[in-house]
């Protein structure tokens, strides 16, 4: 086979790798000597080059590896080098210049060291230049993305956890809307996608986004996905209250159980990561229920279901088809042929809930490999709304345990799950306050109850866990924005097989 026809590079009889997964090739200077009959003799001059490439290991892990080829023909060696370099140059999706934000407190305070020892050498090997900013305060990365010239970069990378990723997410989305003149405070606004991809070097406590998009929270694996220029579209949801944007999120929005955990854990940051276990146990034993009304618009454009057995994987057909269907609906609405949101019927559910969870992705992590919603898709323009109604403490424990095994966690009478493209929630406390406002002029007692929230007449509220951040608004509107951002990832590969060693 001619090297000019090559698309898959054969490393040996037992191993081959696509050119798209070669990191770089280097010419080697080989000075050959060998021992024969106990004497050192000079060998014929050899010419060599080294191929650096990606090798798959277990559990979705990628490894950088290399192999060196030698030959006595200088012209042939240079021919292979030239051919491989030309093929790599044609891979235009690969980044050449990146902006990197490092959270120095990430990775148990090792964020900077993780980057310098594990990430920077691989970037240098792949000839990726970087500009590094070590964050000094909360929202430093977000504010920087609003101010600096980002046109010269091919992507933005964060070294940290899900909170650091959220800063980049808000900065890039906010910058794109400002440039396009889009009002983010309008819940029905059509948001403009950011042109830059986001890379995540995991150094957090859960690394949920990495687990759900790559399959593992491994530094080397994520770095190699960035170097190869992988691109994965990702849905983003917006949270509004009274026509004011509160936050964006890509993984979990949780009220009740998960909201109480995050709020209680914030008071115990001195405990380190152990605070999540402590607050989780405390919240479980408290067993609080919250009353309210959930309204949602079913996602009729998607071809998937929350109860599907097959999860979202690399090259997902559900995400691709759902995106196409959603674009067709938006075109019909744009040309005035049909307003799908007015035609479709909202569903309303009232009751007492232990938890209300909205999952944009599976929300997998090292403790729950299948996640909160195993069949949730990354880019289908929909999210999974999970309602856990009031039940016994024992039944709720059964529900939680199923997140750690392969049993269906939705197979309970007190659990309901819906695939939605938008939903609203109003706490019973807010509904009662509205009624009190109308009666203030008539009954003095209503005035007293409104002014004193600790009064026994008041129904308590939970908080929202929004990708690890606390939102205290008891009345919100959530909308999914299909494939609003792109990550340096390709989705979890289906049963990847480790490459045999050559």
Catalytic residue numbers read 162
Nearest to 424 by CA among 188, 197, 235: 188
271 Cβ partners below 8 Å, 6+ apart? Answer: 278
CA distances from 1 to 7, 10, 18, 285 (A): 11, 11, 15, 68
Half-sphere exposure of 440 (CA within 13 A, CB side): 11
d(CA 180, CA 484): 14
| Secondary structure (3-state) at 407 | coil
378's tokens: 């990354």
451's tokens: 């002014």
| Secondary structure (3-state) at 171 | helix
Nearest to 88 by CA among 8, 1, 23: 23
Q: Across-strand partners of 256?
A: 355
375 Cβ partners below 8 Å, 6+ apart? Answer: 304, 305, 306, 307, 308, 309, 310, 311, 312, 362, 384
For residues 234 and 485, is the Cβ–Cβ distance under 8 A?
Answer: yes
CA distances from 61 to 71, 174, 257, 362 (A): 33, 33, 32, 19
- β-pair type (475-487, 252-256): unpaired
Q: Across-strand partners of 159?
A: 102, 201
Q: At what angle do helices 257-266 and 274-286 cross, to 10 degrees?
A: 130
461's tokens: 């509220």
d(CA 463, CA 473): 7
Angle at 219 between CA 280 and CA 271, to 5 degrees: 30
The C-alpha R_g of the chain, in whole angstroms, comes to 27
Q: Is the C-alpha dihedral spanning 414, 415, 418, 424 positive or negative?
A: positive
């Amino acid at each position: 086979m001619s090297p000019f026809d090559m698309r898959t590079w054969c490393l040996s009889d037992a191993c081959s790798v696509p050119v798209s997964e070669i990191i770089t090739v280097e010419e080697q200077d080989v000075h050959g000597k060998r021992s024969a009959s106990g004497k050192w003799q000079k060998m014929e001059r050899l010419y060599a080059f080294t191929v650096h490439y990606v090798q798959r290991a277990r559990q979705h892990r990628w490894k950088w590896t290399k192999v060196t080829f030698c030959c006595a023909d200088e012209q042939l060696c240079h021919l292979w080098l030239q051919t491989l370099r030309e093929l790599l140059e044609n891979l235009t999706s690969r980044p050449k210049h990146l902006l990197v934000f490092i959270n120095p407190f990430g990775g148990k305070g090792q964020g900077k060291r993780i980057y310098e020892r594990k990430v920077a050498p691989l970037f240098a090997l792949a000839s990726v230049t970087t500009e590094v900013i070590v964050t000094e305060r909360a929202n430093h990365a977000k504010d920087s993305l609003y101010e600096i010239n980002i046109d010269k970069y091919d992507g933005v990378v964060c070294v940290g956890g899900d909170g650091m990723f959220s800063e980049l997410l808000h900065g890039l989305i906010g910058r794109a809307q400002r440039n396009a003149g889009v009002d983010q405070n309008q819940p029905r606004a059509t948001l403009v996608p950011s042109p830059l991809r986001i890379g995540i070097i995991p150094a957090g406590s859960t690394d949920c986004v990495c687990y759900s998009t790559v399959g593992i929270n491994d530094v080397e694996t994520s770095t190699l996905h960035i170097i190869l220029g992988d691109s994965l579209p990702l849905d983003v949801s917006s949270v509004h209250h009274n026509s004011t944007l509160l936050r964006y999120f890509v993984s979990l929005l949780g009220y009740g159980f998960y909201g109480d955990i995050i709020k209680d854990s914030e008071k115990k940051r001195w405990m380190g990561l152990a605070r999540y276990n402590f607050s989780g146990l405390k919240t479980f034993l408290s067993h609080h229920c919250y009353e309210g009304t959930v309204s949602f618009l079913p996602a009729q454009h998607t071809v998937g279901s929350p109860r599907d057995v097959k999860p979202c994987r690399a090259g997902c057909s559900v995400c691709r088809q759902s995106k196409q269907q959603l674009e067709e609906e938006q075109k019909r609405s744009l040309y005035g042929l049909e307003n799908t949101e007015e035609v479709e019927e909202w569903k309303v559910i009232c009751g007492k809930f232990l938890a209300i969870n909205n999952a944009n992705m599976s929300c997998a992590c090292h403790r729950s490999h299948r996640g909160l919603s195993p069949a949730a898709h990354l880019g289908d323009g929909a999210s999974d709304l999970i309602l856990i109604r009031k039940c016994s403490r024992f039944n709720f424990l059964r529900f939680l345990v199923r997140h750690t095994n392969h049993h269906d966690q939705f197979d309970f009478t007190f659990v309901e799950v819906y695939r939605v493209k938008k939903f609203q929630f109003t706490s019973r406390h807010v509904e009662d306050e509205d009624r009190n406002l109308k009666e203030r002029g008539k009954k003095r007692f209503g005035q007293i109850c409104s002014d004193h929230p600790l009064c026994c007449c008041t129904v308590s509220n939970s908080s929202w866990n929004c990708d690890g951040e606390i939102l205290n608004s008891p009345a919100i509107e959530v909308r999914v924005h299909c494939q609003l951002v792109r990550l340096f990832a390709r989705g979890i590969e289906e049963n990847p097989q480790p490459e045999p060693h050559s």
